[in-house]
Amino acid sequence: MTDNKKIFRILDVNINRVKEGLRVCEDITRFILNDSASTKSLKSLRHKIRDIVEKSIAGKRLLCQSRDVKRDCLTEICGLEHKKNWQSIFFANMQRTKEALRVLEEFSKLLGDKMSEEFKAIRFKVYEQEKSLIRKYFK
């Protein structure tokens, strides 16, 4: 596997993690907290990720071509942790989102594009969104 394909594989999995994590948090703010402003904000961040991918990585084609689930050495042990409540689900998905954004920020530097700065900006927006939600709902 070429180095670029390996980098695209890392980008692919982390783009999926970010979008999935944001979607879980978005559903919590929508259906549990009934907070339309926070829901819209999280949805907007998720759509910004999609837009970055579509304009900077020639769409999803290169990412999908680099995906190799069958040879992923850790697919068998992932996702075994059980959550106690919706709050623990929220915190786990916010953490997953922030970590994946950091990976995207670092590895997109290797492609020589401005994606890295865009991922960094979104990461800081996620920090602020998380802080705002914790202040408002997690006392």
Contacts of 55 (CB under 8 A, 6+ apart): none
Q: State the pTM of this model.
A: 0.86
Closest CA to 134 of 17, 25, 24, 21: 25
Instruction: Give the model confidence (pLDDT) of 17-55 as tens digits.
Output: 999 999 999 999 999 999 999 999 999 999 999 998 888
Instruction: Give the model confidence (pLDDT) of 109-124 as tens digits.
Output: 988 778 999 999 999 9
Instruction: Check residue 31 and report its DSSP letter.
Output: I
The domain ranges of the chain are 3-67+81-137
Q: What is the DSSP string of 62-84?
A: HHHHH--GGG-TTTTTTT-PPPS
Instruction: Give the model confidence (pLDDT) of 78-87 as tens digits.
Output: 555 777 999 9
Contacts of 64 (CB under 8 A, 6+ apart): 12
**Amino acid 56: pLDDT:** 73
pLDDT value at 71 more than 70: no
Instruction: Check residue 29 and report its DSSP letter.
Output: I
